[in-house]
């Protein structure tokens, strides 16, 4: 099987619905924002789109990444193939992340071109502004893959991804009270302090590397991949 | 139905994911309440129990939905659905048994966490009436919510991938929670189909305030908000109506799932 065939196959294996999930979630949020604009004013639409970029899309990526391990019906067969199963999973993971990254980058571009981006006080230019989505996407994608590799059950792994996301949604003020939690805060653009934005994005990106590396190591242990719960 | 219920209950209780998800949600709840727990423990039994149930009802149904989401589609993926269809058992009975069995097993950790807190409160404050309040609140607020979430979680993945359902469920749960102010965002909060039980909270247990979105009402109309037709004035009748509507929606969702399964078999 050629290099491009493998990528094309994994894109199909990831599933059209999974690849379209970030689009669906963003469309639902945009529809809600359009309704909300009636009562909350026009600012609701750019605010919601920015929330989609920094909050919703990263959650979609994280939960999708958490659902990769344990869903292949014939892992034994996959493990016996010349193409390593770890590589297969990582390709599927990269396709899932890339589909969401494409949408997030497009949304950022649209917000910048329309002038809505500048209406939000905490924005950081064309290139740096892309870190609005890139940092939480990488962090939750890394966490999702690691949780999937450790727990081998999509339900438990998705809960591990959703827990910090939910905690940061519910306790934004308490998490802004400490330097360490400000640096790990996923929603620094929409809810953090301006001074911490750069270091926060850097820490999130940097900490996603060990998360993904941990997953890479665990996925290499063939015996761990056998007998996981499917779902 | 009874055999399916028994089997699904045992299968779900023996599933390692059930306990992994419970462990994660316990840590999450601990982080959420670490500061407010001493305050809860010093309040009167009714207020302490209602506040605890309100906090529990944000993260626990999410884990509950995640665990139930793959139960129905799993039969098709493993190829046992057709085999079960060939047995003398009726399909609606099996569906109902699966729903009740899975839901009961998955609700067990939720109940353990809530009643565990009630027991700690009762022992610490010497107030046994806390357990009665906890029981009444669990029956009228949490059980209808879990029945509804359980039905939606079993059936949602029939029409979309499980991972997509899980993400949409988190969005739905946050959107329809008391965290979103109905004045600013069109939401189900304070309606009769609000799954966190706003009507029972306000009418049966007289609780107001403590609203994360700044308001004090848990049920009833909000001036200027959308969906006010679904927000009748909070009375005992509308509180029971709210419970009936939520349970009815669960039954409707299960009926829809039955039809989808029937259609797929043809």
Torsion B9-B15-B21-B24 (CA) sign: positive
Torsion A84-A90-A96-A102 (CA) sign: negative
The yes-or-no verdict on residue B135 having pLDDT over 80 is yes
Q: What's the pLDDT at A41? A: 67
Query: Other C-beta atoms within 10 Å of A5: how many?
Result: 9
Whole-number Cα distances in Å, A31 to A52, A102, B8: 12, 20, 39
Cβ pair B193, B202 in contact under 8 A: no
Q: What's the pLDDT at A121? A: 63
Contact B25/A163, CB-based, under 8 Å? yes
Residues from chain B contacting residue A75 (CB–CB below 8 Å): none
Number of domains in chain B: 1
* Nearest-neighbour CA in chain A from B46: distance (Å): 24
Domain ranges of chain A: 2-225
Torsion B175-B170-B29-A138 (CA) sign: negative
Q: What is the DSSP string of B206-223?
A: ------TTS---SSS--T
Q: Per-residue pLDDT averaged across B120-142, rounded?
A: 93
**Residues A133, A135, A137, A141: what is their CA dihedral angle, to the nearest 10 degrees?**
180
**DSSP code of A229?**
P
Q: B231-258 pLDDT, tens per residue?
A: 999 999 999 999 999 999 999 999 998 8
Q: Which two tokens stand for residue B13?
A: 């209780």
Contact A21/B167, CB-based, under 8 Å? yes
Q: Would you say the pTM of this structure is higher than 0.80?
A: yes
Q: What's the pLDDT at B122? A: 92
Side-chain half-sphere exposure of B222, counting CA atoms within 13 A: 25
Q: Which two tokens stand for residue B197?
A: 């039980």
Q: What's the pLDDT at B247? A: 95
Q: B158-167 pLDDT, tens per residue?
A: 988 888 899 9
Q: What's the rounded Cα separation, in Å, for the pair A44 and B182?
A: 14
Q: What is the DSSP string of A24-73?
A: HHHHHHHHHHHHHHHHH-TTHHHHHHHHIIIIIHHHHHHHHHHTSTT--T
Q: What's the rounded Cα separation, in Å, for the pair B175 and B155?
A: 20
User: B80: domain range?
Assistant: 2-265
Alpha helices in chain A (DSSP H): 3-14, 16-40, 44-51, 57-66, 75-79, 85-114, 116-119, 131-151, 154-170, 172-175, 179-183, 188-191, 197-219, 222-225
Contact A159/B185, CB-based, under 8 Å? no
Q: What's the pLDDT at B251? A: 95
Q: Where does the pLDDT of residue B175 fall: very low under 50, low under 70, confident under 90, or very high at 90 and above?
A: confident
* Nearest-neighbour CA in chain B from A93: distance (Å): 13
* H or E stretch at B154: helix B143-159
- The pLDDT averaged over each successive group of 10 residues in chain A (231 residues) is 76 76 88 76 77 91 89 75 82 91 90 78 78 94 94 91 92 85 89 82 95 92 68 49
Residues of B with CB under 8 A from a CB of A: 15-17, 20-21, 24-25, 27-28, 31-32, 35, 58-59, 62-63, 66-67, 69-70, 74, 77-78, 160-164, 166-168, 170-171, 174-175, 179, 183-186, 212, 224-226
Determine the distance from the C-alpha atom of residue A212 to the mean position of all C-alpha atoms in its chain, rounded to a whole number.
13
The yes-or-no verdict on residue B214 having pLDDT over 70 is no
Q: What's the pLDDT at A12? A: 79
Q: Where does the pLDDT of residue B67 fall: very low under 50, low under 70, confident under 90, or very high at 90 and above?
A: very high
Contact A155/B69, CB-based, under 8 Å? yes
**DSSP code of B204?**
I
Q: What's the pLDDT at B248? A: 96
Q: What's the rounded Cα separation, in Å, for the pair A163 and A102?
A: 25
Among residues A51, A43, A29, which one has the least CA distance to residue A172?
A51
Nearest to A153 among B20, B170, B226 (CB): B20
Nearest to B15 among A73, A160, A229 (CB): A229
């Amino acid at each position: 099987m050629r290099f491009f065939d493998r990528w094309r196959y994994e894109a199909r294996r990831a599933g059209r619905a999974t690849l379209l999930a970030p689009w669906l979630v963003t469309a639902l949020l945009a529809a809600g924002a359009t309704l909300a604009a009636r009562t909350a004013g026009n600012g609701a639409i750019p605010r919601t789109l920015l929330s989609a970029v920094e909050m919703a899309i990263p959650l979609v990526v994280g939960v999708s990444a958490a659902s990769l391990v344990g869903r292949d019906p014939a892992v034994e067969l996959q493990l016996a193939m010349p193409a390593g199963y770890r590589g297969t999973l990582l390709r599927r993971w990269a396709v899932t992340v890339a589909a969401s990254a494409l949408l997030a980058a497009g949304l950022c571009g649209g917000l910048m071109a329309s002038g809505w981006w500048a209406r939000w006080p905490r924005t950081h230019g064309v290139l740096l502004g892309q870190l609005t989505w890139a940092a939480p996407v990488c962090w939750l994608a890394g966490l999702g893959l690691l949780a999937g590799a450790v727990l081998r059950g999509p339900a438990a792994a998705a809960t591990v991804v959703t827990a910090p996301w939910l905690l940061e949604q519910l306790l934004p003020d308490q998490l802004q009270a400490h330097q360490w939690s400000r640096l790990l805060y996923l929603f620094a653009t929409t809810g953090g302090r301006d001074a911490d934005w750069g270091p926060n994005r850097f820490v999130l990106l940097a900490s996603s590397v060990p998360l993904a590396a941990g997953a890479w190591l665990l996925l290499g242990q063939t015996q761990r991949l056998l007998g996981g719960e499917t779902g | 139905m009874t055999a399916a219920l028994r089997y699904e209950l045992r299968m779900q209780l023996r599933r390692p994911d059930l306990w992994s998800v419970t462990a994660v949600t316990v840590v999450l709840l601990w982080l959420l309440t670490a500061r407010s727990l001493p305050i809860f423990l010093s309040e009167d039994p009714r207020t302490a129990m209602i506040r605890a149930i309100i906090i529990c009802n944000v993260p626990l149904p999410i884990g509950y939905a995640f665990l139930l989401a793959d139960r129905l589609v799993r039969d098709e993926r493993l190829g046992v659905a057709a085999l079960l269809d060939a047995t003398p058992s009726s399909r609606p009975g099996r569906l109902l048994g699966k729903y009740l069995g899975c839901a009961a097993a998955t609700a067990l950790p939720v109940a353990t966490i809530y009643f565990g807190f009630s027991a700690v409160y009762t022992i610490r404050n010497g107030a046994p009436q806390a357990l009665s309040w906890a029981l009444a609140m669990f029956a009228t607020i949490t059980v209808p919510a879990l029945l509804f979430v359980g039905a939606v979680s079993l059936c949602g993945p029939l029409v979309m991938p499980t991972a997509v359902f899980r993400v949409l469920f988190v969005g739905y749960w946050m959107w329809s929670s008391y965290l979103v102010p109905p004045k600013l965002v069109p939401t189900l909060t304070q309606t009769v189909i609000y799954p966190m039980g706003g009507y029972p909270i306000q009418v049966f247990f007289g609780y107001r305030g403590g609203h994360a979105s700044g308001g004090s009402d848990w049920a009833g109309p909000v001036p200027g908000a959308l969906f006010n037709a679904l927000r009748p004035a909070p009375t005992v009748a509308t509180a029971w109506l709210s419970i009936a509507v939520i349970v009815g929606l669960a039954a409707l969702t299960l009926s829809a799932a039955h039809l989808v399964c029937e259609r797929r078999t043809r």
